Structure 1
Amino acid sequence: MSSETPVLFIHGLWLHATSWASWRERFEAAGYPTSAPGWPGEPAELEAARERPEEMADHGIDDVVEHYSKLINDLPSRPILIGHSFGGMIAQKLLGQDRAVAVVAIDAAQIKGVLPLPLSALKATLPVFKNPANKHRTVELTVEQFRYAFGNALPPEESDELFRRWVIPAPGKPLFEAAAANFNPHSPAKVDTDNSGRGPLLLMTGGKDHTVPESVTRATLKQYRHSEAVTDLLEFPDRGHSLTVDHGWAEVADAALGWLAQQGL
């Protein structure tokens, strides 16, 4: 299958934009032009992001949405967006604004209206929330914290290798904004879930995900119940939050490609 529709990948917290490299190769082999730009302030090189974390600090959800909106404006046509974790939330916001033709949101961070907050999600994000000052800082994960939040479904050795290969500090502000979303009528985590004219949406969930548990993704699906647009759910029962970068990434990527083909994209 071939498509002229561009695919734009949006990573989540703690992974560098280059972590999409294998996905980009897979999608380009299928005929899609791709890009994977980083978040606001994120250096293009992983080592630079580790050395200059302050450049990424204090960027919230609205900043990230505006950043990607400008990048979309430079594309030849509206893209397919593929987002992981907070990237999945950002992609849903852009889809609700009709900035994309379709979205694949993988283990997407909770949007406004989603109520379940499982204990594993609280533990996974504790490195950020333990200090209120982290709202305006970047926060690093330790190897052990990454293993719990991302690599819990993997052998420890693989999780540790992913940490060394892809992990960068992340801004704390988006997590604070998402945590307060249901108490803020103007929350930046609000998504236009009622838009029936938007493109199709696929929500993917890892059944062993500690950071965005399956219950959160299923609650997100319910938020779209008033929209007549295509909204699908696909579960990978044995996968954790690392599913886009670990040894099983190709299964997830191929599922996304297959779904896009079903949508005529």
Structure 2
Amino acid sequence: MKSDLLRFADWTDPVPPAEREVVSITEETDAARPPLLFVPGLGHGAWAFAEHWLPAAAARGFAAHALTPRPGSDLRVQVHDVVQVAASLPRQTVLIGHGAGALVVAYAMGRYPAKAAVLAAPVMDGWPTLGAALRANPFGTLPAMVGGRLRLSRKQLFSPELPEERARELLGRIDARPRRELVTHDPAPRPVGGPPVLVVGSPDDRVVPRTSLDRTATRYGGAPLLFPGMGHDLMLDVAWAEPIEAVLDWLGKELKS
């Protein structure tokens, strides 16, 4: 029903066209492999994947793309953009969403027949995530509850091993301004075509509680793949290579089956 309502809204109030920022690495990749489309979370852009995860995927033969959300866009607009970019790629695409981007991917799967999907540190359960944010970073979270900026902290996003200077640099690039729907959204629709879905995260994530990881993985018929000691930003933390290599290994096995 929710998917039908989203489509009705698109027909009656179409999403306005816009130039989309997509960062891609496609040189010397295997044309027989499906392309990967990375979708960043709240306050992040394509840059969050461009440094590590895109080159790692390309090195394994996957054409890798990352989409930056439109500034100030709501869930409907972000889903629309993901579906449009995925549909423009030459082969059936693997969708990989991080944080709130995983929620966007979950909704997009209700409209686009993804080859597979990966939900990394997924922000799918709004109220538990809000509770975790208030416990870990109350002064940075409270302004966002009244329309202000969400000031994410180092301990929420990164492990202690990440150098302080690097952490400050990354935090300075994040501009997180959450919308109410991040908490109040309806459950995501059933994925079209039943693609395999992998949930990855960290039991030490201070944004997404472990119970939420388990609940999301169960929703898609599996268990979460966990990386202890890492923060929420798996793709930027010190051990960034571990989750992406595991994801690519999983894709290799799923695409052969």
Same fold judged by TM-score > 0.5? yes
Residue in 2 aligned with 1:220? Answer: 216
Runs of 4+ in 1 over 2 A off after TM superposition: 1-4, 95-99, 115-133, 157-160, 165-168, 221-225
- The answer to whether the Cα contact below 8 Å between 1:6 and 1:34 also exists between their aligned partners in 2 is yes
SS of the residue aligned with 1:263? Answer: helix
Aligned residue type for 1:20? F
Residue in 2 aligned with 1:208? Answer: 204
Q: CA deviation at 1:97?
A: 2.8
- The answer to whether the Cα contact below 8 Å between 1:205 and 1:213 also exists between their aligned partners in 2 is no
Match of 1:146 among 153, 156, 173: 153
SS of the residue aligned with 1:104? Answer: strand
SS of the residue aligned with 1:105? Answer: strand
Residue in 2 aligned with 1:130? Answer: 143
SS of the residue aligned with 2:61? Answer: coil
SS of the residue aligned with 2:153? Answer: helix
Residue in 1 aligned with 2:65? Answer: 35
Q: CA deviation at 1:241?
A: 0.4
Residue in 1 aligned with 2:193? Answer: 197
1:171 aligned to 2:184?
no
Cα distance between partner residues in 2 of 1:172 and 1:120: 15
Aligned residue type for 1:75? L
Distance 1:261 1:140, change over 3 A: same
Q: CA deviation at 1:30?
A: 1.0
- The answer to whether the Cα contact below 8 Å between 2:144 and 2:178 also exists between their aligned partners in 1 is no
SS of the residue aligned with 2:119? Answer: strand
Cα distance between partner residues in 1 of 2:154 and 2:124: 21
Cα distance between partner residues in 2 of 1:217 and 1:20: 21
Cα distance between partner residues in 2 of 1:163 and 1:30: 31
SS of the residue aligned with 1:81? Answer: strand
SS of the residue aligned with 2:117? Answer: strand
Cα distance between partner residues in 2 of 1:264 and 1:177: 34
Q: TM-score normalised to the size of structure 1?
A: 0.75
Distance 1:73 1:118, change over 3 A: closer
Residue in 2 aligned with 1:12? Answer: 41
1:244 aligned to 2:235?
yes
Alpha-carbon deviations, 1:109-157, whole Å to 9, x = none? 1158xx74574233457545535541xx6x252xxx4213212x324x6
Residue in 2 aligned with 1:50? Answer: none
Taking only the aligned residue pairs, the percentage that are identical comes to 24
Residue in 1 aligned with 2:133? Answer: 121
Cα distance between partner residues in 2 of 1:131 and 1:86: 15
Cα distance between partner residues in 2 of 1:23 and 1:117: 25
Cα distance between partner residues in 1 of 2:95 and 2:134: 27
Distance 1:110 1:122, change over 3 A: farther
Alpha-carbon deviations, 1:72-121, whole Å to 9, x = none? 22111221111110111111222233431111111001158xx7457423
Distance 1:179 1:35, change over 3 A: same
Q: CA deviation at 1:162?
A: 3.2
1:89 aligned to 2:103?
yes
Cα distance between partner residues in 1 of 2:177 and 2:47: 17
Aligned residue type for 2:133? A
Unaligned runs of 5+ in 2: 1-28
1:65 aligned to 2:61?
no
1:235 aligned to 2:226?
yes
Alpha-carbon deviations, 1:169-191, whole Å to 9, x = none? 12321xx213223xxxxx3xx21
Q: TM-score normalised to the size of structure 2?
A: 0.77
Which 10-residue stretch deviates more, 250-259 or 66-75? 66-75
Distance 1:16 1:154, change over 3 A: farther
Q: How does 1:96-115 map to 2 (within 5 A)?
A: 96-111=110-125
SS of the residue aligned with 2:206? Answer: coil
Cα distance between partner residues in 1 of 2:192 and 2:104: 18
Q: CA deviation at 1:253?
A: 0.7
Q: CA deviation at 1:214?
A: 1.4
Cα distance between partner residues in 2 of 1:239 and 1:36: 22
Match of 2:163 among 154, 158, 161: 158
